[in-house]
Structure 1
Amino acid sequence: MSTDQPRPVRALLRRSVLALSVLDDVDVDLDDDGVRLPGCVPLGWSDVARAAGCGLPGDKAVRAPSAGAAPEQPEDVVRLRVADLLRAHAELHRSRTRTVPLAVPVGAARRPAHGWSASPLLGGALELGLGVVVRSGRSERTLPVPVVSARATGRPAHAGAGELARLEEVGRLVVQRLLRDAGGRGGGVLRPVAGCDVPTLLASAALREHLVAGPDRQPGGVLRAVAVPDRTRGWFDLARIDPAYVGAAWTATDPADRGLHRPVLVTREEVALAPSSPRLVEAALRS
């Protein structure tokens, strides 16, 4: 990095890259220009800083702190975003990597500060863009596709008609499974399917229609309260669940896997956070 960059920002970004290298045994090289991963187009420090939300001099998209100022983002958030950027960048350079739709809660720590092409869904709780499935051991996560990485590999940077059609296919598959499991152990529970985590599933119009109308397709259905405290689980039978449990479960979840910190109210067109007042939430859950 050039010496005119703020020292705290420079040090934080370097620590974040080195933490990924040590903790996850990722082969990375650092120099003054940026980060290099084997077989990948190099990433400039400005790209890393933009994804992390740390301003650097000359970057108009992110407000640059004055020399010696503290970084704008907490260190754990910066580390998460830097790690996700590098993992997604490396995965996109693989020849058979698949991309899928991805919805991330607005304001989530795992959402890149800049450099991810996403559009807000009606209701204001989620943003929908393109993700890449990254595997680590037996687990997998879907990470936002960085625009800089998409350009470097010639891949699309945003969710197009094909990805949105795929999302609806997955939504219909989830509906079939819910109908099959109705009355059994799986009733009322949403889980990831085909690389789409639970927040992403709520972006499917087919699934929202089922949640609102119910298995009997009741025309009077208006909304359904759904709890998604982490990306791997969601509940839509909330009559017996204390609203405070959702926030507690969200707090106890690793930031990399967090979903929505409050229940959401799902209609046929929207996904919106439930009111913050406990009484209003309880009333919504009883509806």
Structure 2
Amino acid sequence: MALSAITVGIMPDVIGTDGTSLRRCVLAVSVIDDIDLTPGDDGVFVPDADGVLITWSMIRQVIGGQAPEGATARHRVATLLQLHRVAVDLGADAPATFRDALRLIALPPGHVDHLGPDWAVQTLPGGALELGYGVYGLLDEPDRCVPLAPSLAEQVGVTGLQTWASLREYTERMGALAAARLSRDGRQGVIRPVGGCDVLALLTSRTLRRHLAEGDGVGMRAVASPTRRRAWYDLRHMDPGFVQAAWHLTDEPDRGLEIPLLVTADEVAVPKQHRRGRHASR
């Protein structure tokens, strides 16, 4: 599947409404992240033999409701452009490579990596986490999973009900593996990533949730995940201020939730007293 000369659904009013801000955002990303690109009237061209166009509507989609010149917008646009650069460099191998790297991402609404309602495929029961496509190991950090924008996911052919079902099945298996490891050495009370799935993604596994919820014999367990790389479930031996401190000290893309989650076999929820003003990423 060739990725050259791509144009997708240009939004006619983008340039007329906030085009200057979008251009500034893209140029800032180009300079800060050293990405070779050329802004044009219809979008951003990624250098290639035929010229690959990322339309302004695709850029606007990942920015969502964020200010185009803000740090969150720049972060999301940088990820989008970097993944497009990878796809361009891979050429005809892009679909297979992206499919092999495909992973489920679970994020709280408002997280810096959450690309909005078009990205979210499902909401996990309990409402604390929304699920969407991501790719693992394609950018500079080999252990990092980044969100895959819907426009690029469609271009490289990794969308569809069958693909999503396979992704959920893979994550379920990784969650079962995590549960087996906890049964073996669970006294540490720490959940770690498995198979390219971070700890929030692992919580989408019913097997892992059931293991955690039934561990105390009450059918529910408080799980603290201030970072996507670690979660703690033996909170009786943890300083209450640790979770918030760890959240604040973690880089925004790696943040989980500032408060512990309530996990049952069926859902992952934010405690009721925090639902109105729950925190994901600031």
Which interval holds the TM-score relative to the shorter structure?
0.7 to 0.9
Unaligned runs of 5+ in 2: 1-11, 275-282
Aligned to 2:110: 107
Superposed displacement of residue 81, structure 1: 1.7
Unaligned runs of 5+ in 1: 55-70, 278-287
Superposed displacement of residue 90, structure 1: 3.8
Measure, in 1, the Cα distance between the counterparts of 2:61 and 2:103. 23
Aligned to 1:172: 176
Aligned to 1:238: 235
- SS of residue paired to 1:173: helix
Superposed displacement of residue 43, structure 1: 1.3
Counterpart among 73, 76, 87 of residue 71 in structure 2: 76
Counterpart among 30, 40, 43 of residue 39 in structure 2: 30
How is 1:201-220 mapped onto 2 (pairs within 5 angstroms)? 201-214=202-215, 220=217
Aligned to 1:48: 59
- SS of residue paired to 1:265: strand
Q: 1:252 to 1:10 in 2, by over 3 A?
A: farther
Deviations 1:82-138 (A, max 9, x none): 122223444455422321111111221221135314211111100112211244445
Q: 1:274 to 1:245 in 2, by over 3 A?
A: farther
Measure, in 1, the Cα distance between the counterparts of 2:30 and 2:117. 23
Measure, in 2, the Cα distance between the counterparts of 1:200 and 1:135. 18
TM-score of the two chains, using structure 2 as the length reference: 0.79
Aligned to 1:262: 259
Aligned to 2:195: 194
Amino acid at match of 2:255: R
Aligned to 1:61: none
- SS of residue paired to 1:14: helix
TM-score of the two chains, using structure 1 as the length reference: 0.78
Q: How many residues are matched? A: 252
Deviations 1:252-278 (A, max 9, x none): 22211111121100000110112447x
How is 1:34-183 mapped onto 2 (pairs within 5 angstroms)? 34-38=43-47, 41-54=52-65, 72=67, 75-91=70-86, 94=90, 95=93, 96-97=97-98, 98-156=101-159, 160-183=164-187
* Mapped contact 1:105–1:126 kept (Cα < 8 A): yes
Amino acid at match of 1:174: A
* Mapped contact 1:147–1:157 kept (Cα < 8 A): no
Measure, in 1, the Cα distance between the counterparts of 2:135 and 2:160. 11
Measure, in 2, the Cα distance between the counterparts of 1:160 and 1:148. 16
Amino acid at match of 1:170: M
- SS of residue paired to 1:43: strand
Aligned to 1:280: none
* Mapped contact 1:229–1:258 kept (Cα < 8 A): yes
Q: 1:173 to 1:160 in 2, by over 3 A?
A: same
- SS of residue paired to 1:118: strand
Tell me, yes or no, if structure 1 residue 247 matches structure 2 residue 244.
yes
Aligned CA-pair RMSD: 2.6
Greater share of helix residues, 1 or 2? 2
Aligned to 1:60: none
Q: 1:91 to 1:174 in 2, by over 3 A?
A: farther
Measure, in 2, the Cα distance between the counterparts of 1:22 and 1:182. 46
